[in-house]
A = this chain, B = another copy of it.
Amino acid sequence: MNIGIDMMGGDFAPLEAVKGIGLYLSGHNIPAELTLIGNKNQLESLLAEHNISLDHITITHSEEIIGMHEHPTKALKEKQKSSISIGFHLLNTGKMDAFISAGNTGAMLVGALFTIKALDGVIRPTISSIIPKAEGGTGLLLDVGLNADCKPEQLNQFAIMGSVYAKYILGINNPKVGLINVGEEEGKGNLLAQATYPLLKANKHINFIGNIEGRDVLLDKADVMVCEGFTGNIILKLAESLYEISNEKKVKEAYFERFNFENYGGTPVLGVAKPVIIGHGISGAKAFMNMIHLAQLMLEKDLMTKMKEELA
């Protein structure tokens, strides 16, 4: 198992990535092999400085960096020697099994969609987010912004992919799937939600519990919460702001602390053929460690095959 890491992506690159790798390696008896893509000299000296053994590490040199605000498609085309471009090349040619970056989100998405491609039958891949639940558990919200306009069939696929992820990665047995909507009864909602409900109801691959409302998002009602990427993105960013607001107001409440999305490492692109994990720009060492753990778990559980089976 070989996990690739873009060492040059993110606001604190490459230092925090190096520290995250240190945390990861020191916590594992049998770690995965890691491919570090970045400036070789800089990485070698940082690794030495942090006393990180090179036993499980290969460094692949990259000369260019795609900046956080560059145009994704243009940058990927013009900067073939960038860490992100090289990463997708290595992933696509089987030199690596997963790819992690806290760099340019758009470039990571374009790379995932156009270099790695979707799993057979997937209309469009999706990105999800962990949503901390007030009762203590963890839910999954998807899509959170990759697909601002959706067809009912896409939401139906999100429900399947989200369920597989919730089961194997979040460890939720028979995850409850809820359709985000403006009312509880069947027949409520906008045209999309109305058309999606019967598909979810008839879907034998998921445990559909019906519509859930805005007030249920932070509660234990559903584990997998499905909507198009417009609503999902608004929900996610509103939830993220709760952490900042409670910090600002010095509210000491563990629940709101859990809205610090740095804790969660990153979000995988679901529905592509290989694990691609996108971190926040502000990812610190812990986030990098968590992303490597997540990639490893996705590979160990053979998540992509499981998704393919359920989507068939």
Contacts and interface: CB of A to CB of B under 8 A. Distances in A.
A240 interface: yes
A230 B182 contact: yes
**Oligomer: number of copies:** 2
A172 interface: no
A237 B215 contact: yes
A114 interface: no
Contacts of A6: none
Contacts of A253: 246, 249, 251
Contacts of A235: 214, 234-235, 238
B214 A238 contact: yes
A148 B228 contact: no
Interface residues of A, number: 41
A134 interface: yes
Contacts of A214: 233-241
A191 to B, nearest CB: 5
A245 interface: yes
Contacts of A236: 214
A120 interface: no
A126 to B, nearest CB: 14
A245 to B, nearest CB: 5
A213 interface: yes
Nearest to A229: B182
B218 A241 contact: yes
A41 interface: no
Given A134-B249, A189-B148, A213 B230 contact: no
Contacts of A251: 251, 253, 256
A238 B227 CA distance: 15
